[in-house]
Structure 1
Amino acid sequence: MKVMTRRLLVLGAGTAGTMIANRMRRVLDARDWEITIVDKDDVHLYQPGFLFLPFATYRPDQVRRSRHTLLADGIDLVLAGVEQIDAGAGTVTLGDGRVLAYDQLVITTGTSPRPDQTPGMLGDLWRRDVFDFYTFDGAMALQRALQQLTGGRLVVHVTDMPIKCPVAPLEFVFLADAWLRARGMRERTELVFATPLSGAFTQPVAAERLGSLLADRDIRVETDYLVERIDEQGKALVSYDERRIDFDLLVTVPLNMGAEVITRSGLGDELGYVPVDRHTLRSRAYENVFVVGDAADLPTSKAGSVAHFAVETFVHNFPLLVEGREPVDAFDGHANCFVETGNGKGLLIDFDYDTQPLPGTYPLPWVGPMRLLTETRANHLGKLAFRWLYWNALLPGRPIPLPAHMSMRGKDTSLLAAA
């Protein structure tokens, strides 16, 4: 008797979705499982590269590839928007009216900037004096604006948390400082970093290190800054407590929200993120729905490394969970992020749900070659090298010799007591 083929449907062909489709195609028998992945277009974007586009460090062709070329044989790529998810019925309705049925659903729809959520942000100043860099078009528009910059006040601003890659705004202000100095414009350009947080970072040890770097570079920091609107006529950010920050050029990170289809389908919280078990990544409402990457409401960074490590857990557990067995792995919220600090140097931070970033070495204890929370040339080179790994190893699902779970070996744990 022929066994019915089961259907695995992945919504979103970004980092997490592409990795899952490729890895599961190797794990699941093609005679038993069909794998379909859906996205609105055929352009896969290397989003960490957006940080470098405004400074013309990367070319546009280095951050874009066809989704088709990144997927293994035996995966069906459907190019269409997603209109509705009916998790009760096990169906997904596409923008063109097609309906896809599934046995298991993986949501990897990510998070996106929503400038429309802040009054005045999408007004006449948008991409003229007010720019984003979390989108390809925004980063390229900002590149043109920086080429015309002659001085004044450059403000880097974060609307609210959570955001995709929470260290990227800090990286931008560090790179802007170095870029301005290299062009002899730093003395006539004031740099301001406005954040809704109480410091440069959420955790005390990293916040102290990053705060010192900002002070050393004479970058003014406005903390606890919750923007209410942008005054277009006065060219100023205005907070809820009426603090004004005037700007000549504003580089903002708008409010980030999950995909609109999540909200339309009644699956998300107030920001459009899907509640999941933080260790198995399974939906709290539907046993045959999993959420991996930025679309989940996990209490950790929305970053590519989190997606990578979460996929490792998902791949180990999925074949067991769909058969009603116990998972063999638990995601610990592991994240590590390179922080560009300018002048060919960078930091590296490594943390999880329970442990904040600490000094030490990575990935090998006491050997490195990366140094945690310390500016080094090796960290900068590691960030640049990651682009090659992303296209050639991470997305195709090839093994990368990095531990999926965070290790405390090689870290200075004595700072935990002081913090």
Structure 2
Amino acid sequence: MTTPTKHLVVLGAGTAGTMVVNKLRRELPATDWTITVVDRDDIHDYQPGYLFIPFGINTPEQIRRRKRPLISAGIDLVMGEVDRVDPAARAVHLGDGRVLAYDQLVIATGTTPRPDQTEGTLGPQWHKEVGEFYTYDGAVALRDQLATFTGGRLVVHITELPIKCPVAPLEFTFLADDWLTRRGLRERTELVFVTPLDGAFTKPVASRALGNILEDKGVVVEPDFMVERIDQERKVLVSYDEREVAYDQLVTIPLNMGADFVARSGLGDELNYVPVDKHTMQSTAHPDIWALGDAGNLPTSKAGSVAHFSVEVFVENFLDHVHGRPMTRSFDGHANCFVESGHGKALLLDFNYDTEPLTGHFPFPKVGPMTLLGESRANHLGKLAFRHVYWNALLPGRPLGLKAEMSMAGKNPA
């Protein structure tokens, strides 16, 4: 039997990492290539489900599975912490001393909430009066905390962008409005949305539409708020310009950062994201290193749809690259995001690097069944159904019938 001579190492077995190893195992002959994926544990979470746990829409059990069964045969799954990457030696050093040699390296270690980066966050009320839903433990703790909520000032707060799933804080606010209404607590609750942006979202067209929904729901928006610290004793957010926002229950989205080993390896920017070519996901410093999913510094949303569409482009380019051919595919920044708006409805945003979210229908022109930049029941059902698609089609790397490039078909010009 021929011993493989090439080694692909993928760091991270989350959404992007799992998709890419499953797709490439079918394309790279096992006689030529070994594929190894490294992660710290054997737990894979469907992270969009974190949003629903505090409101009882998803149970914790529905969003969590073991990683090993999700990864195709013929792929080595190595459990361990990554200490650093040595690009000159083409080696990955693990925390326990093991060293993995690579010919091609994919960094897919995502982004992580870092509450330690904002003064006062990790005080005695962390995961109590100061909650979050960007981790499994945080979402479960917030569910338990909200169960005791009887009214007051509920503040949803974004520390700084970029964050994974940038619409999730808005979704939480909309779902909280629904949840409070159904429990007879809405009139006793002041909902406040605190953001470092000057509006509801980063894209002006979507920001106006989402801002109108916030206004219709009676949500107070505190824009341009750059938090300096959380004062848990006084129960206030304090900004750098000394503004204060009081809360009874705070739901904060901490600063998000890439993996620490990226910094130790000299591969990242100030937030530990790997600088990459935004069309190929290839490192701008090392042609044998790539960053997928949330690990790279792509100028678009850190969202599962971006991971999906960019991986589709990456696989074809990667195969061209390792066979000595020019890369011919170009990722256009395509993002496709459901936005839960409460009361059984949701919006759908579809955009890329150059085109803002527009109105229209998706995925089929005039037919839909989903509407773009407008609330509908079909969008809500589409978001709920995606959990099944995620486990059974997306992660295994099966075709979903959606082109990686954004289409203008079915969209209304701005």
Coarse TM-score class (shorter-chain normalised): over 0.9
The equivalent of 2:343 in structure 1 is: 343
In structure 1, distance between residues paired with 2:87 and 2:293: 19
Query: What secondary structure is seen at the aligned counterpart in 2 of 1:192?
Result: strand
The equivalent of 2:59 in structure 1 is: 59
**What is the deviation of 1:403?**
1.6
The equivalent of 1:225 in structure 2 is: 225
The equivalent of 1:16 in structure 2 is: 16
**What is the deviation of 1:151?**
0.4
The equivalent of 2:266 in structure 1 is: 266
The equivalent of 1:298 in structure 2 is: 298
The equivalent of 1:392 in structure 2 is: 392
In structure 1, distance between residues paired with 2:68 and 2:202: 38
**What is the deviation of 1:278?**
0.7
The equivalent of 2:284 in structure 1 is: 284
Q: Answer whether contact 1:258 1:295 (CA < 8 A) is retained.
A: yes
The equivalent of 1:245 in structure 2 is: 245
In structure 1, distance between residues paired with 2:57 and 2:344: 12
The equivalent of 1:213 in structure 2 is: 213
The equivalent of 1:325 in structure 2 is: 325
The equivalent of 2:123 in structure 1 is: 123
In structure 1, distance between residues paired with 2:92 and 2:208: 47
**Structure 2 residue identity aligned to 1:294:** D
In structure 2, distance between residues paired with 1:204 and 1:39: 38
Structural RMSD (CA): 1.0
For normalisation by structure 1, the TM-score amounts to 0.98
1:46 aligns with 2:46: yes
The equivalent of 2:70 in structure 1 is: 70
In structure 2, distance between residues paired with 1:91 and 1:358: 45
In structure 2, distance between residues paired with 1:46 and 1:4: 33
The equivalent of 2:108 in structure 1 is: 108
**What is the deviation of 1:3?**
7.5
In structure 2, distance between residues paired with 1:176 and 1:304: 23
In structure 2, distance between residues paired with 1:172 and 1:97: 42
The equivalent of 2:236 in structure 1 is: 236
**Structure 1 residue identity aligned to 2:392:** N
Query: What secondary structure is seen at the aligned counterpart in 1 of 2:293?
Result: coil
Change (3 A) 1:140 1:2: closer
**What is the deviation of 1:323?**
2.7
In structure 1, distance between residues paired with 2:127 and 2:51: 16
In structure 1, distance between residues paired with 2:315 and 2:138: 34
- C-alpha offsets along residues 121-167 of structure 1, whole Å, 9 cap, x if unaligned? 11122112101100000000000000000000000000000000000
The equivalent of 1:195 in structure 2 is: 195
Q: Answer whether contact 2:4 2:30 (CA < 8 A) is retained.
A: no
1:168 aligns with 2:168: yes
- C-alpha offsets along residues 381-407 of structure 1, whole Å, 9 cap, x if unaligned? 000000000000000011101121101
In structure 2, distance between residues paired with 1:392 and 1:3: 32
The equivalent of 1:83 in structure 2 is: 83
In structure 1, distance between residues paired with 2:162 and 2:4: 41
Q: Answer whether contact 1:262 1:272 (CA < 8 A) is retained.
A: yes
In structure 2, distance between residues paired with 1:127 and 1:75: 37
**What is the deviation of 1:2?**
6.1
Change (3 A) 1:2 1:54: closer
Q: Answer whether contact 2:91 2:101 (CA < 8 A) is retained.
A: yes
**Structure 1 residue identity aligned to 2:292:** V
In structure 2, distance between residues paired with 1:128 and 1:141: 7
Q: Answer whether contact 1:38 1:79 (CA < 8 A) is retained.
A: yes
In structure 2, distance between residues paired with 1:335 and 1:70: 24
**What is the deviation of 1:328?**
2.1
**Structure 1 residue identity aligned to 2:300:** T
**Structure 2 residue identity aligned to 1:321:** H
In structure 2, distance between residues paired with 1:180 and 1:322: 54
In structure 1, distance between residues paired with 2:357 and 2:316: 26
**What is the deviation of 1:4?**
5.0
Q: Answer whether contact 2:4 2:34 (CA < 8 A) is retained.
A: no
Change (3 A) 1:141 1:3: closer
The equivalent of 1:354 in structure 2 is: 354
Q: Answer whether contact 2:281 2:291 (CA < 8 A) is retained.
A: yes
Gaps of at least 5 residues in structure 2 are none
The equivalent of 1:365 in structure 2 is: 365
Q: Answer whether contact 2:4 2:31 (CA < 8 A) is retained.
A: no
For normalisation by structure 2, the TM-score amounts to 0.99
**What is the deviation of 1:83?**
0.6
In structure 2, distance between residues paired with 1:246 and 1:218: 17
In structure 2, distance between residues paired with 1:170 and 1:323: 44
Query: What secondary structure is seen at the aligned counterpart in 2 of 1:347?
Result: strand
- Percent same amino acid at aligned positions? 64
**What is the deviation of 1:12?**
0.2
Q: Answer whether contact 1:288 1:322 (CA < 8 A) is retained.
A: no
In structure 1, distance between residues paired with 2:304 and 2:3: 37
Q: Answer whether contact 2:151 2:188 (CA < 8 A) is retained.
A: yes
**What is the deviation of 1:38?**
0.3
**What is the deviation of 1:203?**
1.5
